A = this chain, B = another copy of it.
Amino acid sequence: MSHGGPPPNGANDIPPVDIAAGKKRISPTERRTVERVRQQRPGDAVVRVRRARFQGFSRTAEAHLEARAELEKPRDLAGVLKRWLVGEPIHAALESHERLTKKKALAVFSSDALSSVAYTPQETLVILLVAGTAATWWMLPLAIGVVLLLATVVTSYRQTIYTYPSGGGSYIVAHANLGEIPGLVAAAALIVGYVLTVSVSIASAVDQMVSAAPGLVDERVLLGVAAIALVTVANLRGIRESGTIFAAPTYLFLAAMFGLIGFGLIKLASGTLVVPPPVQAEIGHEPLSLFLILRAFAVASAVMTGTEAISNGIPAFKPPEPRNAARTLLSMAAILGTMFLGLSILIVGAGVIPSHEDTVISQLTRSVFGEGLLYFVVQSSAVLILVLAANTAYADFPRLASLLARDDYAPHQLAYRGDRLAFSNGIILLGILAGVLIVVFGGSTGALLPLYALSVFAAFTFSQAGMVKHWWRERGPRWRFKTVVNGLGATATGIVALIAAITNLMNPDLPIIPGLPIGWGSWVVLLIIPFFIWLFRLVHTHYAEARVLSALPADPSAVSPIRQHIVVLVARLNLPAVRALQYAASLSADVTAVYLASDADSARELEEHWKTWSQGIPLVVLESPYRSLTGPLMQFLLELKRNENADLVTVVLPEYVPDHWWEHVLHGQSAQFLKLALLFTPGFVVTSIPIHEHALARDQSEH
């Protein structure tokens, strides 16, 4: 084990001796060396046998090293900033699987659904008011219709819970039962739905904030984007104590809503509930049409968005998981239905006129409790639960994205857990998409809601259609009854999805080009879903192809050995060039050095000294009278590869790496151009042998 250079570890002057040198190709982690211990008395010879040490690692098995936490220390300012934002990395073994009681589970999985009452009654009312104040009594029949629809959906979903106890999201159910395309449609609808969950919840949270602090009315978009950024960073940290964090605001909100509804109904009955109309209110004079009622219904039914969350989260329940989940689903539906009906009665009874500067909840609270501390408690609880609702999408979207990535429908990076165990890439992607929607739709809850309803109900439909297919195929006990239940669910939700699509195809209030009556509307969703499906399949095809092409043959000897040739590019005869020649000579006997000359004269000096420094490597001089580099060189390499029958040509480039970035400008970029040119040519490998300025300076000062 002799070597010519100075020993890299200066601490140990005695070169180590490899005691396993006889046995070839020992793993570097298992290599043992004998060190002579500094002798105390003449004649003594004490040796120490030592296994190779790898600082920063623990040896967990033969040839297994585990990186220690000390290697995770931030190395630069960006690293320190990331640590501060995102927190210390978490060991893989600490991945927790918190089991939730029914009460906690209700808080965790229902914030999305329950928070909907903060905006759906309001937006339903806005639509009905297009036909004047007389039309607002339609809130009551619509609310009853929504409750019936909710009952259908919940009954249908109970069956899903018992059938897919390990979590039956729309994508899984539709993919497993209906096939690839319906599964992807469900996935695309869910993705759009999750993004809209964030946008709508945050937009509505901003509405509630603005109601309590009217000075912020012009900062809607800014507030919304800031809130999304906050939730995104929180999720990148990984929210560990989720159950506890969720419970308080959810139950506070429930208490606030039931208090509001209870006291409100008492005041209403006693005739003392007076809600002053807002300063700004848009009241239309169109005739009340079926179209308008359907449009209002589609928006009202958005109250049940988020119902699916429980059936996705079954494994988080305490055992017996399916039963506990089913019961939680029923409780949630009962609470949600009661709140929606109660609020509807209050609204119609008190004749509330909605306004985006002052939400219906805010108006009612002010009328029932006055504008004291209690008002701010109720508004805060609404803001909090809406932010939590947005947060649920941050759990669901990255999980769905990772499932899609696992199934090769999305880039594999989406299945990668960051150093806080969260699916970082999915979280960031969701934040960006939701932020864009907030900006494009100007932070308007009303404009986003129909799209939300459409995508959620499309996902519902595919999920329940999948269940129908499931029963039909299985034909287990009571399959006819179960088919009918899920069939009813699928039909009902399908109709709502259709209504949402048709009644909101275009929204002229939200023009794409200001002045033209062509608006953003549900066509965006109808366009995005097929686009996503196309994208999923494109990615899938690519991964499938790559998998087939990268697969190993059954017989290892079928992989033919590689015949290779090495080319060293020499620009002038200096130390970097000689090191590159040495490097190449140490690797192979099939080496050629190439000098690119702009004229024959410039080669002469190089050739004179070639013998001395060549390391036995033959030199070819390429004359490029047109002074171009890449063209002639590429052609030479291709011809060389053919002439030498080489499978692989390795091009070795000496690269002088200066100490400072700006000094790179002084050393030309020819190497980079060549690398780029060869990257897409099969059979070529480019290796830069970097010679570092500071290493050279150190070497010279040592000698």
Contact = CB atoms under 8 A, between A and B. Distances in A.
A159 interface: no
18 contacts: A8-B642, A8-B645, A25-B589, A28-B620, A65-B622, A65-B636, A66-B623, A67-B624, A67-B625, A67-B631, A411-B666, A417-B627, A542-B663, A549-B700, A550-B576, A551-B575, A586-B588, A684-B690
A220 B700 CA distance: 58
Nearest to A55: B639
Contacts of A619: 27, 63
Contact of A616 (B25, B417, B620, B697): B25
A676 interface: no
Interface SS, A side:
mixed
A64 interface: yes
Contacts of A632: 56-57, 67, 71
Interface of A: 1, 3-5, 7-9, 15-16, 24-31, 52-57, 60-61, 63-67, 69, 71-72, 75, 89-93, 411-413, 416-419, 421, 539, 542-543, 545-546, 548-552, 556, 559-565, 573-576, 578-579, 582-583, 586-589, 591-592, 598-600, 603, 612-613, 616-628, 631-632, 635-636, 639-648, 650, 656-658, 663, 665-668, 679-680, 682-697, 700
Contacts of A631: 67, 71-72, 75
Contacts of A418: 627
A80 to B, nearest CB: 14
Contacts of A31: 643
A613 B25 CA distance: 15
Contacts of A53: 639, 643
Given A27-B592, A28-B643, A31-B643, A64 B545 contact: no
Given A25-B589, A72-B628, A562-B583, A575 B600 contact: no
B589 A587 contact: no
Contact of A92 (B24, B575, B625, B663): B625
A674 B632 CA distance: 31
A95 to B, nearest CB: 10
A421 B564 CA distance: 37
Given A66-B623, A560-B5, A666-B412, A583 B550 contact: no
A640 B28 contact: yes
Contact of A413 (B71, B576, B620, B668): B668
Contacts of A25: 589, 591, 616-618
Given A15-B645, A90-B626, A624-B67, A613 B556 contact: yes
Contacts of A658: 542, 546
Given A64-B623, A599-B92, A683-B695, A562 B546 contact: no
B560 A628 contact: no
Contacts of A613: 552, 556
B600 A64 contact: yes
Contact of A575 (B411, B559, B563): B559
Given A8-B641, A71-B628, 17 more contacts: A3-B563, A3-B647, A4-B560, A5-B562, A27-B619, A28-B618, A56-B632, A65-B622, A67-B626, A67-B635, A89-B626, A89-B627, A89-B628, A90-B626, A412-B668, A587-B587, A683-B695
